[in-house]
């Protein structure tokens, strides 16, 4: 029996070089209206399922997804951004793109629903709108598809995934330890449930305009939602899910804007602070799988790597005042 996790959303610090006191930035990364950048995410999954005493079955998948972030309104407490899906492709075992005309059609429908996020100056996503509307647009009139999407890609997983570029935002307030900060993350495991992680980011090493950020954390299982009236019509359901081991690691790269003189207005020399982030999860466990009126014990192993990479076509305006950084060279 092969269980494939759904391909769901086709449709889901400042570098402290000195401690000189300075006012905190009013927007995340000092972003301004009309600034935009895009991030490509490569997702590699491997799931091994063993049903009762049968031979284990391995399922692998790889997808590439690109999101665009456009700043459309700012305030002293949050940066409002519109998030657009630019592309989503599946990659087969040979490295070739898998063509899916139905998927392409559904993706185009997502352009009708704006996804809006509000990001605090410390890089935490405070609010998100357009989540369910996007899933409804993607599912179309298929009510069961919408229910599956909501269960296998819950709102918190969706919000965590969109907010990961902003993990590269160290605290800018005057605290004792400014090189370590936390993020709350949720990873969807499809019908198996999810993993909720308290991720700790720590500046490991520094260069003139960059920092290597190590990510570690502890995870806990989020079990699938209890069954309901519609659940009985599904072909496969997992119940009694328990994990026996979990792990989570990551590494990011924080890059700061190049030093520019005050009268240099060339936007090409400015950049988002985020450069890259690679996260790895691993979980093993057991459950009961219900299918065709039968319930059997199943063991599972799941490994997932998500690699987020800033794309070179970003556009930004004037440089912000960056707390704790050397002043621009003259």
10 inside domain? no
What percentage of the chain exceeds 90 in pLDDT? 39
Q: Among 135-144, 158-167, 219-228, 264-273, where is mean pLDDT lowest?
A: 264-273
Work out the number of other CB atoms within 10 angstroms of the CB of residue 317. Answer: 15
Q: Is this model's pTM higher than 0.85 or not? A: no
In a domain, 285, yes or no: yes
DSSP labels, 176-203:
S--SEEEEEEEEE-GGG-EEEEEEEEEE
Predicted pLDDT of residue 142: 76
Q: How confident is the model at residue 102 (pLDDT cuts 50, 70, 90)?
A: low
> 118, exposed or middle or buried, with CB in 10 Å at 0-12, 13-18, 19+?
middle
CB 312 within 8 A of CB 77: no
Residues 6+ apart with CB under 8 A from 228: none
Q: Is the pLDDT of residue 188 over 60?
A: yes
Q: Which domain holds residue 59?
A: 28-310
Q: Is residue 13 part of a domain?
A: no
Name the DSSP class of 122.
Answer: T
238 lies in a domain?
yes
Indicate the number of domains in the chain.
Answer: 1
Q: pLDDT band at residue 138, thresholds of 50, 70 and 90?
A: confident
Task: Evaluate whether residue 305 is within a structural domain.
Answer: yes
Q: Which of 121-130, 131-140, 142-151, 229-238 ranks highest by mean pLDDT?
A: 121-130
- CATH number, domain containing residue 283: 2.30.230
**Band (261; pLDDT cuts 50, 70, 90):** very low
**In whole angstroms, what is the distance from residue 252 CA to residue 291 CA?**
41
Residue 18 maps to a domain: no
Is residue 315 in some structural domain?
A: no
Is residue 295 within 8 A of residue 201, CB to CB? The reply is no
More confident residue, 165 or 11: 165
Average pLDDT over every residue of 245-269: 69
Any domain includes 179:
yes
* CA atoms of 250 and 213, how far apart (whole Å): 8
- Whole-number mean pLDDT of the chain? 78
- Residues 236-248 have a mean pLDDT of 89
Region of residue 15 (left: phi > 0; alpha: psi -120 to 50; beta: else) = beta
């Amino acid at each position: 029996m092969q269980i494939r996790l759904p391909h769901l959303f086709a449709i889901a610090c400042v570098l402290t070089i000195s401690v000189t006191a300075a006012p905190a930035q009013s927007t995340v990364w000092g972003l301004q209206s009309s600034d935009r950048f895009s991030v490509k995410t490569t997702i590699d999954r491997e799931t091994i399922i063993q049903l009762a005493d049968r031979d284990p079955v391995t399922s692998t998948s790889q997808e590439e997804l690109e999101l665009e972030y456009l700043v459309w309104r700012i305030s002293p407490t949050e940066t409002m951004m519109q998030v657009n899906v630019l592309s989503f492709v599946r990659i087969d075992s040979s490295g070739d793109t898998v063509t899916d005309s139905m998927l392409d059609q559904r993706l185009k429908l997502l352009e009708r629903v704006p996804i809006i996020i509000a990001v605090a100056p410390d890089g935490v996503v405070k609010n998100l709108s357009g989540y369910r509307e996007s899933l409804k647009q993607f599912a179309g009139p298929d009510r069961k598809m919408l229910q599956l999407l909501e269960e296998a890609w819950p709102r918190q997983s969706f919000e965590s995934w969109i907010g990961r570029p902003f993990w590269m935002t160290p605290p800018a307030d005057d605290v004792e330890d400014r090189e370590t900060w936390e993020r709350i993350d949720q990873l969807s495991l499809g019908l198996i449930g999810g993993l909720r992680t308290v991720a700790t980011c720590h500046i490991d090493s520094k260069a003139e305009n960059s920092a290597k950020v190590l990510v570690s954390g502890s995870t806990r299982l989020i079990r699938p939602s209890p069954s309901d009236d519609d659940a009985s019509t599904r072909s496969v359901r997992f119940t009694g899910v328990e994990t026996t081991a979990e792990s989570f690691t990551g590494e990011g790269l924080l890059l700061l804007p190049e030093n520019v003189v005050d009268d240099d207005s060339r936007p090409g020399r400015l950049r988002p602070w985020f450069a890259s982030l690679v996260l790895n999860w691993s979980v093993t466990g057991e459950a009961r799988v219900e299918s065709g009126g039968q319930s059997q014990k199943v063991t599972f192993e799941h490994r997932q790597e998500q690699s987020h990479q800033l794309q070179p076509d970003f556009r930004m305006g004037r440089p912000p005042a960056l707390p704790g950084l050397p002043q621009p060279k003259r």
